[in-house]
Amino acid sequence: MAVRSEQIELKPRLRWVREDQANHRTGELDLPRVDLESGEVLLGVQLRFETWGQLNAHADNAVVVCHALTGDAHAGDGEEGPGWWSGLIGPGKFLDTERFFVVASNVLGGCGGTTGPATVAWDNQPYGLRFPLVSVRDMVGVQLQLVDVLGINEIATVIGGSLGGMQVWEWACMAPERVREAVVVAAHAAFTPLGMGYNAVMRQAITADPDWQNGSYYGTGRQPETGLAIARQIGLLTYRASELYRQRFGRTSTRSDSPQVAWEAFVRPQYQVESYLDYNGRKFVGRFDANAYLYLIRAMDGHDIGRNRGGMNQALTLIKSHLTLVGIRTDYLYPVEELRTTAGQAVAAGVDCRYVELDSPHGHDAFLIEQDALANLIGESREGRKA
C-alpha cells in the first residue's frame, strides 16, 4: 500500500520457496515498509530472489548480480533451466559458486515476483497506475535490505549490465564501505538523452494502444499487446549493432512470387528482419507486463548518480570500491566514448577505476551473448590491477 507518512515497526520476513540443487535456492523477502525517493511509502513489499553457493563464516564472499530491463532473479542455472547469465555463474565459472555466495533479485516495480504495478494491493485489486514511481536508487535500497537480512557483511562484487549496470553505479555510491568491487557493464553514470528519447517513443507505443485502458487492463481480458510488442521491437533495434543486422538478415525477402495487394505489403513482413522483430515482439508480450515496462524505463530515465549529490564529479568521490567500467565497441545505446570519459573523471576523483572494452559485433546485447569473452575481459582487468 502506498502511503505518505505512516510508521510501522514490523520486521522483514524471509522464507525459502525452493531448493532444487545443493547450491541453488529461491526465496522471498517480505518487507513491511519501503521508503521511496519520492517521499511515498510502500507497505507490504515482496522481493523475489535467488542464491547460488554458500555464505562463508566471515559473511564477506557475497556477489550481487543486477539484472537488465527485461531480466529477473533467475541469473544462473536452476530447476527452471539456464539463467540469463548461466555462462558466468556456477562451479568453476567466473562467479564461482564454490567460492562465492551469489545473490540476484527481481527489481522493485518489475513483474518477476517482486512487488510492482501488477501486484494485488490492499483492496484486492492490482495497483495499476496507483503504484508509485520508483527510481534505480529505490531498487538498490530494497536490495540493501535483502543483503542485510541474509546476514551479508561485505560484498565481494556487485555486477550488472544495462539497467543492471545502473544499479551497480548506485550500489557503489550508496554502500561504498560494503562493496569491494563494482563492475558496471554497458551503462553510463547518467542515462543519455538518446536513450530517454527511445524510452519516450516506447511509452507512446504502449499508452496509445486502446487496450492499455489507462493502465487498468488487469482482469478485463484485454491488454496492450500491440503497443508492448512495438515497444519491444524498438528496443531490439537499439540492442543489436547495424553490422550484426546486416550479417544476419541482409536484404533477404520473405515474399512469394505471387502478386500482392497494398494491405499485405503494409501489414505483413516483407523481409527477414521484419519477421525477426515481429516474432520477438509477440513473444515478449507473453512474459512481461506492460505497466512494469513503463515503470522501469521511466526509472532508467531518472538515472544520474550526480542527481541530488552535487553533480557527477562530487558523486564519484563517494565511490570507494575497485571500479571496472566495461564498454562494448558496437554499443549504439551506450557509446563507449562516454564511458571512457567517465572513467577518466573517476580516476581524477580518486577512484581506483579501470576501463575495458569488449570487441563484439553484437552491440549492446553482447553482455548477454558473449559471456565467456566478458568474463575473460573482466578477469584480465583484475589481474592488471593486482600487477
Catalytic residues: 162, 331, 364
Rounded to 5 degrees, what angle do the CA atoms 158, 160, 161 make?
155
Cβ-defined contacts of 336-342 (< 8 Å, 24+) = 338/188, 338/192, 339/188, 342/188, 342/189, 342/312
Residue 90, Ramachandran bin (φ over 0: left; ψ between -120 and 50: alpha; else beta) = left
- Whether 101 contacts 75, CB under 8 Å: no
Identity of residue 377 = L
Residue 268, Ramachandran bin (φ over 0: left; ψ between -120 and 50: alpha; else beta) = beta
- Whether 131 contacts 2, CB under 8 Å: yes
Round to whole Å and give the CA distance between 362 and 311. 33
290-301 and 225-239 helices, crossing angle to 10°: 40
Rg of the Cα trace of the chain?
21
Residue 213, Ramachandran bin (φ over 0: left; ψ between -120 and 50: alpha; else beta) = left
Identity of residue 45 = V
* Cα 8 off chain centre by: 30
Residue 191, C-beta contacts closer than 8 angstroms, at least 6 positions apart: 166, 300, 301, 302, 303, 304
Residue 231, C-beta contacts closer than 8 angstroms, at least 6 positions apart: 202, 203, 205, 206, 293
Round to whole Å and give the CA distance between 369 and 85. 9
- Whether 198 contacts 192, CB under 8 Å: no
